[in-house]
Amino acid sequence: MHPYPHNYKIRVGATPDGEVRLGGDGLPDLASMPPPEFDGPGGHWSPETLLVAAVADCFTLSFRSIAKASRLEWVELTAEVNGLLERSDGVARFTRFDTHARLVVPAGTDPARARMLMEKAEKICLISNSLSAARHLESEVIEEEP
């Protein structure tokens, strides 16, 4: 890992109508539009879905790193994150992120240890730690058949 601080720069381009184009050095462009909840057309990434995706991706990459450092063998991790956007004190903001994670491990793996590593990944995720919303992790460990 590179020493801190890290700096991330994104470019955005937009016209009065249509997609917003997001890009960065060495990154593929990404199109964004308002979600249907804000009268957008749907079928596009939006700032809201990108934020929830960032929480999910950060959890997953954090788990991958912790599992490697802890020498935990695993087969597959899937996670679903639900971000709750509410109006509070006159402003719209995300108030909660609920993560349901399902980890498949080889037979004979200690499920309590695997669950503890998922909890650690949720706690160290720098994206979630940068947000003021409440967080909840529901984890499930499934052992493969021998």
pLDDT per residue as tens digits for the range 93-106: 999 999 999 999 99
47-143 topology per CATH: GMP Synthetase; Chain A, domain 3 (3.30.300)
List the structure tokens of 126: 């720098």
What pLDDT is recorded for position 128? 96
d(CA 39, CA 124): 35
Confidence of residue 88 (pLDDT cuts 50, 70, 90): confident
Indicate the SS3 state at residue 24: coil
User: Side-chain half-sphere of 73: how many Cα atoms within 13 Å?
Assistant: 7
Nearest CA to 109 out of 141, 77, 78 is that of 141
